[in-house]
């Protein structure tokens, strides 16, 4: 007697769902549940201690009120929450500086370490290891490096250029650039992804280009870059999301203050202050959802632009 094929298929499906059920339950309880809870709290006045009080769009109105008056008068005090916009400005400034620099440096290192040289595996390991060190340890290390009096960086600048280095983390104008420099410490993670992509480029393309008389520059521009655009796209999306989640290093370095004079008050740091220092959990939830929308819109724009510059299998996607 032949077994019921439908019953066997059902048993296999139930077995599969049974094995993945712990993850599903964890996802629903610890991810989806808190997301919907935070959406509800964003419309309330909630101080963690007392029950939340529904206040409709009061939190959102506080953030977005006074925008036009501030633009017309060039007076940030007209804003409902000037500190919110300062934190967003700091985060965007960091993203504009750190994201392109990280992509370029990571790609440059990957190209160098893709060459057939002696000890290349050792050099790959050396450049990759810093990216796996914890954020707190990195922050404490660079805090010492950036020390204007005893730090090694200013000593090197004085020795080579014979000029006094800036205050770095104590100077509002240099605080964000200092964090951008510190961010280069972790380019090894992106470098490894670039390296994997470079090793996947068919060598036949380079051989054919050499036969046609293409020099190194032309081979890089017309073969390496187009073939690497999917990897660049991947690192761009992850890097953009990562820059908007920047928190640990600046929290450790500034002791959670975002100084000097709020020059390093990143969005997530201000969100944290509202949630756990001022107990404005409802307002912090509002900020979290605004950040979610910002990141979502930017990500969708990057995906939309990929039709213009990302190559798949030798052709522009969407222009076959």
pLDDT digits (tens, 9 = 90+) for 7-43: 888 888 899 999 999 999 999 999 999 999 999 999 9
CB under 8 A, 24+ apart: contacts of 153-158: none
- φ, ψ for residue 161, nearest 5 deg: -100, -5
pLDDT given for residue 174 in this prediction: 96
pLDDT given for residue 313 in this prediction: 65
The token pair at 194 is 């670039």
The token pair at 317 is 């996607």
Whether 272 shows a pLDDT value over 50: the answer reads: yes
pLDDT given for residue 2 in this prediction: 53
316 pLDDT tier (thresholds 50, 70, 90): very low
List of domains in the chain: 5-59 (no CATH), 66-316 (1.10.3720.10)
pLDDT given for residue 318 in this prediction: 47
Range from 2-16, 56-70, 92-106, 227-241 carrying the lowest mean pLDDT: 2-16
The token pair at 155 is 């000593």
The token pair at 124 is 């790959």
**pLDDT one-digit tens code per residue, 79-116:** 999 999 999 999 999 999 999 999 999 999 999 999 88
Spatial CB neighbours of 138, under 8 Å, sequence gap ≥ 6: 130, 182, 185, 186, 249
CB distance 107 to 195 below 8 Å: no
Q: Mean pLDDT in the chain?
A: 92
């Amino acid at each position: 007697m032949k077994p019921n094929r439908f019953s066997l298929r059902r048993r296999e499906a139930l077995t599969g769902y049974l094995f993945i059920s712990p993850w599903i339950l964890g996802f629903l309880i610890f991810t989806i549940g808190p997301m919907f809870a935070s959406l509800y709290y964003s419309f309330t006045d909630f101080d963690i201690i007392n029950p939340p009080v529904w206040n409709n769009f009061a939190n959102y109105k506080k953030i977005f009120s006074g925008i036009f008056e501030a633009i017309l008068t060039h007076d940030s005090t007209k804003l409902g929450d000037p500190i919110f916009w300062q934190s967003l400005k700091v985060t965007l400034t960091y993203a504009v500086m750190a994201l392109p620099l990280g992509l370029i440096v990571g790609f440059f290192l990957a190209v160098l370490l893709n060459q057939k040289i002696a000890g290349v595996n050792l050099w790959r390991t050396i450049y990759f290891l810093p990216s796996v060190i914890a954020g707190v340890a990195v922050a404490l290390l660079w805090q010492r490096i950036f020390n204007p009096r005893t730090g090694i960086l200013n000593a090197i600048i004085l020795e080579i250029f014979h000029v006094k280095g800036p205050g770095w983390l104590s100077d509002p104008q240099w605080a964000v650039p200092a964090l951008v420099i510190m961010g280069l410490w972790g380019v090894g993670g992106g470098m490894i992804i670039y390296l994997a992509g470079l090793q996947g480029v068919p060598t036949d393309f380079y051989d054919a280009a050499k036969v046609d008389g293409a020099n190194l520059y032309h081979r890089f521009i017309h073969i390496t870059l187009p073939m690497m655009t999917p990897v660049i796209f991947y690192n761009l999306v992850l890097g953009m999301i990562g820059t908007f989640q920047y928190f640990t290093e600046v929290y450790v370095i500034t002791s959670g203050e975002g100084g000097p004079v709020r020059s390093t008050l990143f969005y997530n740091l201000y969100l944290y202050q509202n949630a756990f220092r001022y107990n404005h959990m409802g307002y912090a939830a509002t900020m979290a959802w605004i950040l979610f929308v910002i990141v979502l819109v930017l990500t969708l724009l990057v995906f939309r632009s990929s039709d213009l510059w990302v190559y798949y299998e030798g052709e522009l996607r969407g222009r076959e």
